[in-house]
Structure 1
């Protein structure tokens, strides 16, 4: 099974960089990276030390509903290329484990799919979840803070 790692859509990144409102209606906050722990959700790479980035509330779902979690994320303040969907994102090598959770085509959590997985087993567990008939996609989230990292689908 081939996996695709889906970053934040280009139009979302452009709108937010243009000071468009985040999921709570606020303009993104601009900061300067210290070089550690600032993963951009568009290129799926860490923001290098000294580079500007944005902090904002993000909801990676098409509509507001009970399971559409919103949380803080980071984004390069300046344009960056979207992550190549066919390769493991560099930001997923920056922690020892991640929370994976399956969602149905209705964008609701598929109960029983959530769990913390060692980074070495991330692709394997994503494949297991995506093989389930009721799982349409998987979210990769921070195991410590539950922050959204990226979406995983099959090709």
Structure 2
């Protein structure tokens, strides 16, 4: 099974870098990276030390509904290429564990799919979840803060 690691869409990244508002209707805050723990959700790489980045509220769903979680994320302030989707994103090697959660085609959490896994088991667990008929995609989230990292689908 080939997995695709889906970054924030180009349209969202461009809008937020421009004058666009985040999921809470605020302008993103600009900061300077210290080089540690600042994962961009568009290129799925860490923002280098000394480079500007944005902090904003993001909702990785197409509609507002009970399961459409919103939370803080980081984004390069300057344009960056979207992750290619084919390789394991660099940001997923920066922690020892992640929360994986399966969602149905209706964008609702599939109960019983959520759990924290070690980074060495991330791909295997994503494949297990995506093999289920009731799981359309998987979210990878921070195990400590529940921050959205990326979406995983079958290629």
TM-score with structure 1 setting the length: 1.00
Aligned residues: 155
User: Gapped runs of 5+ residues in structure 2?
Assistant: none
Distance in 2 of aligned mates of 1:69 and 1:37: 21
Q: Deviations over 1:43-88 (max 9, x none)?
A: 0000000000000000000000000000000000000000010110
Distance in 1 of aligned mates of 2:122 and 2:19: 34
Within the alignment, does 1:113 sit opposite 2:118 as a pair? no
Partner of residue 44, structure 2: 44
Q: CA deviation at 1:19?
A: 2.5
Q: Deviations over 1:85-120 (max 9, x none)?
A: 011000000000000000000000000000000000
User: Gapped runs of 5+ residues in structure 1?
Assistant: none
Indicate the RMSD between aligned Cα atoms, in angstroms: 0.3
Partner of residue 7, structure 2: 7
Partner of residue 102, structure 1: 102
Distance in 2 of aligned mates of 1:142 and 1:128: 19
Distance in 2 of aligned mates of 1:117 and 1:132: 18
Distance in 1 of aligned mates of 2:80 and 2:2: 25
